């Protein structure tokens, strides 16, 4: 929607660069998006991962190619590695990760690789292509824990993402919510992330979505992005379920592609070796639908409400 995150800045950046703007309207299915891109000769586009997953699936199923598209920007939620590789390998389209929010007007980081990283083989580049990138000029970023202590940028330590800059909101309309900046002028985004030695940020989760198990954090996003790479999966989501010993344990929710059979172990086996053993979901639940919000992100609030009476097999 145009009101969300200032239309990702494209409504301003397009005219500033002398480009025409192509608006997709309400029809965001793969067939409609593909027809629009080809008809209008689109060279660059931007959307959340679920839109690109639908387009990718439509193109693969129908043996289609792009004639003009060269680059896509993906934000709103983390993009699965399978999708990044798929667009590059099958269609020659570069996927660039970005992160932002309405309060950052809208870009907070963008994953443009440095010359040093671009010189690496493509497979090695993927570690940074999967991250949300570095802040633009004028934007400062740091990590803090819940106690307000600043966390190291070592690529491993998680913390709450704090941002500061001339394009970062200083207050909400009519002062709603009171003072939204800390004593140093930083805004708490509500996201959990790590930052590596190159300054590349990687979102781990929203603070409200992170799964807290035995005092440790488990990233639902990381598990989802691997799970959706299974060839039988249309959409995947991970939520926390109550556990008597560990507080919460991850549950993988899977919407299969049409005609595929349910097999829980197959999807758990697909995750083996790709995530820490203690991150492994305690159960796989097959669902007919995974709800998306107005911006195309997975609606975790609705999912949790639907699953409120669910009990883990070992905890029932």
User: What residue spans in the chain does CATH classification 3.30.300.30 cover?
Assistant: 211-306
* 3-class state of residue 21 by DSSP: coil
Higher-confidence position of 88 and 7: 88
Sheet bearing 247-256, strands edge to edge: 233-243, 247-256, 283-286
Mean pLDDT of the chain: 92
Residue 199: its pLDDT value, please?
96
* 3-class state of residue 284 by DSSP: strand
Domain 4-100 fold is Rossmann fold (3.40.50)
Residue 4: its pLDDT value, please?
74
CATH tag, 211-306: 3.30.300.30
Instruction: Judge whether residue 315 has pLDDT over 70.
Output: no
- Closest by CA to 250, choosing from 312, 200, 305, is 312
DSSP E strand boundaries for 84-219: 94-100, 107-110, 140-144, 159-164, 187-195, 201-206, 211-213, 216-218
Least confident piece of the model among 63-72, 241-250, 267-276: 241-250
In the structure encoding, which two tokens stand for residue 187, read together? 């805004």
Residue 293: its pLDDT value, please?
83
- Closest by CA to 52, choosing from 66, 174, 40, is 66
In the structure encoding, which two tokens stand for residue 175, read together? 């002062």
Instruction: Judge whether residue 5 has pLDDT over 90.
Output: no
In whole angstroms, what is the distance from residue 4 CA to residue 105 CA? 10
Give the CATH superfamily of 140-206: Luciferase; Domain 3 (2.30.38.10)
Q: Which residues contact 53 (CB under 8 A, 6 or more apart)?
A: 80, 83, 228, 234, 235
pTM: 0.76
Instruction: Judge whether residue 115 has pLDDT over 60.
Output: yes
Instruction: Judge whether residue 76 has pLDDT over 90.
Output: no
In whole angstroms, what is the distance from residue 255 CA to residue 272 CA? 20
Residue 177: its pLDDT value, please?
86
Residue 78: its pLDDT value, please?
82
User: What residue spans in the chain does CATH classification 3.40.50.980 cover?
Assistant: 4-100
Length of the chain: 316
Residue 61: its pLDDT value, please?
94
In whole angstroms, what is the distance from residue 289 CA to residue 258 CA? 12
Over residues 41-52, mean pLDDT: 92
Least confident piece of the model among 32-36, 66-70, 106-110, 204-208: 204-208
Neighbours of 168 (CB within 10 A): 22
User: What residue spans in the chain does CATH classification 2.30.38.10 cover?
Assistant: 140-206
Q: Which residues pair with 292 in a beta bridge?
A: 298
Classify residue 192 by its DSSP letter. E
Residue 1: its pLDDT value, please?
62
Q: How far apart are the first and last CA of the chain?
A: 42
Q: Are strands 233-243 and 247-256 parallel, antiparallel or unpaired?
A: antiparallel
- Tell me the per-residue pLDDT of 170-215, one tens digit each, with 9 for 90 and over: 999 999 989 999 999 999 998 989 999 999 999 888 777 888 888 7
């Amino acid at each position: 929607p145009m009101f969300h995150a200032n239309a990702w800045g494209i409504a301003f950046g397009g005219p500033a660069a002398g480009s025409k703007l192509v608006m997709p309207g309400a029809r965001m299915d793969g067939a409609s998006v593909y027809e629009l891109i080809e008809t209008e000769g689109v060279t660059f586009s931007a959307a959340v991962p679920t839109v690109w997953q639908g387009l990718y699936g439509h193109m693969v199923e129908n043996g289609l190619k792009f004639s003009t598209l060269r680059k896509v920007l993906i934000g709103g939620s983390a993009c699965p590695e399978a999708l990044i590789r798929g667009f590059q390998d099958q269609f020659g389209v570069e996927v660039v990760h970005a992160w932002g929010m309405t309060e950052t007007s809208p870009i907070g980081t963008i994953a443009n690789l440095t010359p040093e990283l671009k010189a690496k083989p493509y497979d090695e580049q993927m570690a940074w292509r999967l991250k949300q990138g570095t802040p633009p000029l004028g934007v400062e970023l740091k990590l803090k824990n819940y106690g307000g202590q600043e966390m190291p940028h070592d690529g491993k330590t998680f913390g709450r993402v704090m941002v500061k800059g001339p394009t970062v909101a200083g207050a909400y309309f009519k002062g709603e919510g009171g003072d939204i900046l800390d004593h140093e002028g930083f805004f708490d985004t509500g996201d959990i992330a790590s930052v590596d030695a190159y300054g590349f940020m990687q979102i781990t989760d929203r603070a409200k979505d992170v799964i807290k198990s035995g005092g440790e954090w488990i990233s639902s996003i990381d598990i989802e992005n691997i799970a959706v790479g299974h060839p039988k999966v249309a959409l995947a989501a991970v939520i926390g379920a109550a556990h008597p010993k560990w507080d919460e344990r991850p549950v993988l929710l899977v919407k299969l592609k049409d005609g595929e059979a349910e097999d829980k172990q197959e999807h758990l086996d697909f995750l083996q070796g790709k995530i820490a053993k203690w991150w492994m979901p305690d159960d796989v639940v097959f669902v007919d639908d995974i709800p998306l919000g107005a911006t195309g992100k997975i609606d975790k609030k609705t999912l949790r409400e639907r699953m409120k009476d669910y009990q883990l097999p070992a905890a029932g």
